[in-house]
Structures are given as structure tokens and as C-alpha cells.
Amino acid sequence: MGAGVIELENVSYGYGGGELLSDVSVQLQPGSFHFLTGPSGAGKTTLLKLCYGALLASSGRISAFGQDIARLDRDQMALLRRRIGVVHQDCRFLDHMTLAENVALPLMVSGRTDESRRADLAELLTWVGLGSRMDALPPELSGGERQRAALARAVILSPDVVLADEPTGNVDWEMSQRLMQLLIELNRMGKTVVIATHDLSLIRAAKSHVQARVLRISQRRLHLAGADL
């Protein structure tokens, strides 16, 4: 097995005098698909944040694309985060900007605003089913539309890794299936995908369409879940 795009070696993380994650080791291989599950408060969001450098480990080592995250300076970290798309749980948008402008924000921040990128933006919004909603403002969007917009924003820079934190938490089952299909399609394009979710029925449904590993956080440690899911 080769080197992973993201690797955690004996990682622990704690705050407020307590330990949330302990001795976590995992390799995310290029093009792999993982579900991350566990009860609320187990540390799923924390583990994702450690993977993209929003949090630094209390002990252990985390590397991304062969680089030790703890040793990266601000500019190196910015470059790293262009390669890791994150679908956040809270889907925050700027209400005074249109859907298209919100999704394009990572392009603007990275200085990529040429016409070819604008064409890519239109194609991406059509792909997530929002081609007709480009000029809508965030308050006008439904929960499902906001989640799909969050996914589009996360992948606008064509990252190598997509980390999704409870991406189906605020939508109905039909929309959950649609979002999951988009994430599976990204994986088929070669992206490494990690989805944090507590919805085991969603995992069971998805496993018939994609070869996925299920990782479970239990008692501060990370375990490979059994085949009974």
C-alpha cells in the first residue's frame, strides 16, 4: 500500500483538560471513499478539521500530500487547502451575494477569475442541479439547494480530497440520495472522499454503489467498522 494523500499517525487531540481523540492512525489512499461515523460528540468534526489543518494535533503526526501539516507556514497551508475541499455542516453563505458569486468565492480568493473558470462555474452549478438558480440569493434557497451549493463551492478548485461534514443532515431522504450520488460521482473522477455522518441507513444505501470503508469513532479511538453495516 502506497502513501496516503492524508495520513494520521498516533494522533491525539484534547481541549479543556480532556482528550477527545486518542492514538488515531489512518491512511486515506488516493481515490478512496470513507464514511466516518460515531455518536454525536464523538469527534467526527474534530477529526475532519485535523485532516485539513483547521486544528493541530496535541500529539502524533498528520501529513497531507507528503507534508507535515504542523510544519507548514501560512502560505503553504493556503496552498494545501486548495487541494482539500470541505463541505461544512453549517453551510454559511454571504447573503448579499448571489449563489454563483458565493460558489465562486474560492476562485476569487485564489486569483482565478478568468473566463474559462466562469464557464467551469456554470457547468458545475448545472451538475449539482442549480443551473437555474445562479442569481438567487442565499435566503431564497431551500435546505437541499444550500447543501448542493456548499458541495459546489467545496469542489470549485477541483481538489484532490473532499471532506464532507454531515452533508445530508438537514435534508430529506430523497435529497440525501441525490447529494450522495454527487459525492460518489466525484469519487469516480478520482477524488478521495470522506463523509462524516451518523446516518447508518445512508451508509448502507451508498455501499451498494461504491466501495467504501467505514470508520467509527468510539471511546476516543478510530476503528474499522464491521461488514454488518
pLDDT digits (tens, 9 = 90+) for 179-203: 899 999 999 999 999 999 988 888 9
pLDDT at 114: 60
Residue 1 pLDDT level (bands cut at 50, 70, 90): very low
pLDDT digits (tens, 9 = 90+) for 92-144: 899 999 999 999 988 877 766 666 667 788 889 998 999 999 999 999 999 88
pLDDT at 16: 76
Question: Mean pLDDT across the stretch 27-35?
Answer: 95
Q: Where are the domains of the chain?
A: 1-83+159-229, 93-158
* 202 touches 168 (CB < 8 A): yes
Given the DSSP bridges, would you call strands 33-37 and 213-218 parallel, antiparallel or unpaired?
parallel
Interacting residues of 66 by C-beta distance below 8 A, sequence separation 6+: 3
pLDDT digits (tens, 9 = 90+) for 139-179: 999 988 999 999 999 999 889 999 999 998 878 888 888 88
Q: How far is 206 from 141, CA to CA, in rounded Å?
A: 26
Q: How far is 188 from 166, CA to CA, in rounded Å?
A: 20
- Determine the 3-state secondary structure of 109 from DSSP: helix
- The percent of residues in the chain predicted with pLDDT above 70, rounded, is 93
- pTM value is 0.91
* CATH 3.40.50.300, domain 1-83+159-229, yes or no: yes
* 34 touches 222 (CB < 8 A): no
